[in-house]
Chains A and B, each alone.
Chain A
Amino acid sequence: MINHPLTATTEWARRVFFAAVFIALSPALANADNLGLKNWSEVVAEAKGGTVNWFMWGGADNINQYVSDWVGGELKKRYGITLHRVGINDTAEAVNIVLGEKQAGIIDNGTVDLIWINGGNFRTMKQGKLLYCGYLDLLRNNNLINWQDASVANDFGLPVDGCEVPWNRAQFAFAYDQARTPNPPRSIADLIKWVKENPGQFTYPAATDFNGSVFIRHVFYYAAGGPEKLLGDFDQAKFDAIAPKAWVILNNMKPYLWREGKTYPNAIATLAQLYANKEVALYFDYDPAIFGINVENGTFPATTRSYGLEDGTIGNTNYVAIPFNSPNKAAAMVTANLLLSFDAQYEKAKPAVWGTAPAIDLSKLDAGNKAAFKNLPRNPAVIAPEELARHALPELHPDWISAIEKGWQENVAK
């Protein structure tokens, strides 16, 4: 406990704080009680005949097909659940729907049953008490998750606390065309040199883009001499000490960027287009599976290869979460459980389907299933997840990320 004496005012403030927390939490607690599900078979029985409205980013036909056809088909076949995939452009759209419903007092008949989510959107929902939590122990496949792994138990530095279920893992990687660029830069230090030697051949999306922001964080880690100092809660003094160094690096890079850095792509899709059209030599993405998907669908040249950085690249886990006001919580739980199953994770790992890395701990599988994962073919454009994982860097707390994004706008973009 706190070992310095508390003054009367702080004691009072504490009481108010706890009262506020209690009031804020009580609807969620009441919800969990109302559901009254004690074990897995009760969840399955309750879920039968339900419909799950799953809101997820809908910009990849292969992911849409996996979710609608494979997941939807299995849910119907195994549990009699109807899956309704709702494609959105930005996860924030789903978060706003739930937020709007909460403001309008809709506490048990919301629109959204499941959201594909992580990072800032998870923070918004968790802090806004917009999530249904505490059901993970009921899920049969929860034992396939390694909750001891800090990168699974924390979503961008924020503890998961039983409020979401891991679905995929992703780790940032670079892609290049080996026919055009035989020796791409393999560390941030190399990249800084390479950009100067190859003017106009590199650019990155603005910090407003998810992938642009993570690239800037890699430069930030480099300026800080590693991520260690940046972990944990946001610290203004630390930020002020490191940020100017990062802005100098990025500003020095500017004249050598695509279009002399006068403009930055506004989205990762634009960078993909520039790379596909051979206007720039390097592409990067938080999910290396996209390199294979883009080669597969003809967007990227077949000679595309990918790699991680020698000083490591940032990795994250992405999740599915159930909003507090979902009217089909049991069916959503069954869906989340199915997504975690070996069958679902294995199907999704196939390069022709999606090729994304599993969120489950493969060491917890039996020998046969383990071997199945090991023997999966991989698109040559996609770097092996094990190889990437050898140099994995943690994500920062969302407050750090916001500060870096804001700093980039003010110091580099203008």
Chain B
Amino acid sequence: MSLTHPSNSEKGLSTLLRLSVAVLVVWLILPLVPLAVWSVSRSWYFPDLLPAEYSLRAWKYSLSETSGVPGALGLTSAIALCTTLISVLIGVPAGRALGLYRFKGKAVVELLVLAPTIVPGIAAALGLHVVFLKLGLAGSVAGVIIVHLIPTLPYMILVMAGVFANYNPATEAQARSLGATALKTFWYVTLPAVLPGLLIGSLFAFLVSWSQYILTLLIGGGRVITLPLLLFNFASTGRNDITGAIGMIYILPGILILLIGGRHLTGRSRATGTLGQI
């Protein structure tokens, strides 16, 4: 794939690009600076610009077994990954159906899919709690993953429906007519075409699951301890040093995913290129 920019607009674009990058950095990074400073401070009083004393105690505590942070980091990642995987398994077929086909009651289905983003999840979760208790799912990791699907699925399905709305299924028929198996068709034709959307949806699903507090607390019943739960313990009592340290650990996966997945998010990556090669 080769994009040729007209040389006269390149300069204007790069100034704009630099400016927007600067704004983005200030907007995203600056709020994190006090968090980082808090995490290594011992005494930091208003209106001092910098802490009077530094200490690694907050980090020592946060990384210790006692705090539960290392275990919670693993558990939160595992839950978010499983939630994302299940969201993909449900979201891709559902998005395809909504994006490609017209069927009776489609508007109702679309409304139902959207419902969790309109109705606060807590309302549904309070009722679900009793059901989960009876099913023996309350207080289990499986229960927490299932309840995380409530807020993650709408994002996944909506993104995939958007992707499939601009997708021409005739390319699949073409591949089949040339002798590709169903699996091969999916792997070489469908998947590359929807990959950028799939990655965006997965990123949303992961981060939404990653940041769940009230649903995890309610369904996990204190037995499933994720990072937000530990973070809130200290944020709500004004322990800025430990909140800062756990907060820094908490934003790690988001940054990692952005760095790894970032190039796929432009929507111009190899997906369209692959289609062009066929």
Chain A positions near chain B (C-beta within 8 angstroms):
53, 55, 58-61, 64-65, 68-69, 86-89, 93-94, 97, 100-101, 103-106, 111-112, 267, 269-270, 272-273, 276-279, 297-299, 301
Contacts and interface: CB of A to CB of B under 8 A. Distances in A.
Contacts of A97: 221-222
Contacts of A87: 68, 225, 229-230, 233
A279 B66 contact: no
A61 B67 contact: yes
A399 B43 CA distance: 41
A53 B223 contact: yes
Nearest to B132: A104
B258 interface: no
Contacts of A277: 45-47
A299 B67 contact: no
Interface in B213-269: 217, 221-223, 225, 229-230, 232-234, 236-239, 241-242
A111 B221 contact: yes
Interface in B13-68: 41-47, 53, 55, 57, 61, 66-68
B122 interface: no
A193 to B, nearest CB: 28
B148 interface: no
Nearest to A103: B130
Interface residues of B, number: 36
Contact of B134 (A58, A105, A111): A105
A278 B46 contact: yes
Contacts of B61: 61, 65
7 contacts: A59-B239, A68-B66, A88-B233, A93-B222, A97-B222, A111-B222, A278-B46
Given A58-B233, A59-B233, A273-B238, A104 B225 contact: no
Given A53-B222, A279-B46, A64 B66 contact: yes
B139 interface: yes
B133 A100 contact: yes
B236 A86 contact: no
Interface string B52-89: 01010100010000111000000000000000000000
A270 B222 contact: no
Main secondary structure on A side of the interface with B: mixed
Given A55-B222, A299-B43, A104 B233 contact: no
Given A97-B221, A267-B238, 16 more contacts: A53-B223, A59-B234, A60-B239, A86-B222, A86-B225, A89-B233, A93-B222, A111-B139, A267-B236, A277-B47, A297-B57, A297-B239, A297-B241, A298-B42, A299-B43, A299-B238
Contact of A64 (B41, B67, B133, B232): B67
B46 A59 contact: no
A278 to B, nearest CB: 7
Contacts of A61: 61, 67, 234, 239, 242
Given A297-B42, A298-B43, A272 B238 contact: yes
Contacts of A270: 238
A100 B219 CA distance: 11
A88 to B, nearest CB: 6
Most buried by B among A68, A97, A270: A97
Nearest to A269: B238
Contacts of B67: 61, 64
A279 B45 CA distance: 10
A64 B44 CA distance: 23
A101 B133 contact: yes
Nearest to A89: B236
Contacts of A101: 133
Contacts of B41: 298
Interface in B189-233: 217, 221-223, 225, 229-230, 232-233
Most buried by A among B229, B236, B238, B242: B238
Contacts of B138: 100, 111
A273 B236 CA distance: 12
Contacts of A65: 61, 66
A101 B136 CA distance: 11
